[in-house]
Amino acid sequence: MTRDPRTLRCEDGATIAYHFTPGKSPGVVFLTGFMSDMDGAKALAVEAWAGARGRAFLRFDYTGHGASSGEFADGTIGRWAADAVLVLDRVAEGPQVLVGSSMGGWIMLLAAMARPERVAGLLGSAAAPDFTRDLLTSMLTADQRRTIEKDGLVLVSNDYGEAPYPISMTLIEEARNHMLLGSEIPIDCPVRLIHGLKDSDVPWETSQRLSESLGSNDVEVILVKDGDHRLSEDRDLARLTAVLESLIDRIGG
């Protein structure tokens, strides 16, 4: 039977929906991608893996996503990173390994920088730091650029669902405050990055650039020859949890 999520109330009255299972430390926190939710295949696969090993696990929806309150179009990278820090502070217990999918890979980096004493390791799946600058703006057509400049919002087709992505000028402008690639990222914990060579949304070179920018010397990039952006096939999920298990062994959990 599906459990109803718990909710965490933010200072501004917004609510964050989450599922938390207590267990062994370090715990694992899953951070979802852009316009995704905590019921996706990767989040549930990691939850099943953690449950089988008695390890603490937390998955949640950013505000404007899934079962949390708010409108997606009102969200920003800074707000979603603040959501991640809030669940770290008020729900998770002790050291954590953050697993970030796509945009969640950007959010996990920002959360690790905000709470370095709480983050023991990072695992990115098609991590997409800086995607609003490096990818999103370049994919807009001339008509879409005119629309977003005039109206502050444009609808962009979504290859993974029927509902289009509402992209706001606020999202793009606010994200400039959180750019990471191109200068050293002050993160010292072990990091593992999985990326598909056939990823048509986020180039695999993004993970390579990220590995070069990280301050940590314990960084590994795993490239998947036939892997796409989602990396949600059974073999991909098995790889994800195997890398996670190896990372936690490395940390000493």
Please list the active-site residues. Answer: 102, 199, 229
Q: Which residues pair with 30 in a beta bridge?
A: 59, 99
Distance CA 12, CA 57 (A): 26
Nearest one of 144, 159, 245, 142 to 199, comparing CA atoms: 159
Per the CB < 8 A criterion, the answer to whether 6 and 18 are in contact is: yes
Per the CB < 8 A criterion, the answer to whether 243 and 99 are in contact is: no
Backbone angles phi, psi at 222, to 5 degrees: -110, 115
Distance CA 148, CA 211 (A): 33
Residue 48: HSE in the Cβ half-sphere, 13 Å Cα cutoff: 12
Long-range contact set of residues 51-54: C-beta below 8 Å, sequence gap at least 24: 51/21, 51/23, 53/23, 53/24, 54/23, 54/24
Sign, CA torsion 9/97/95/179 = negative
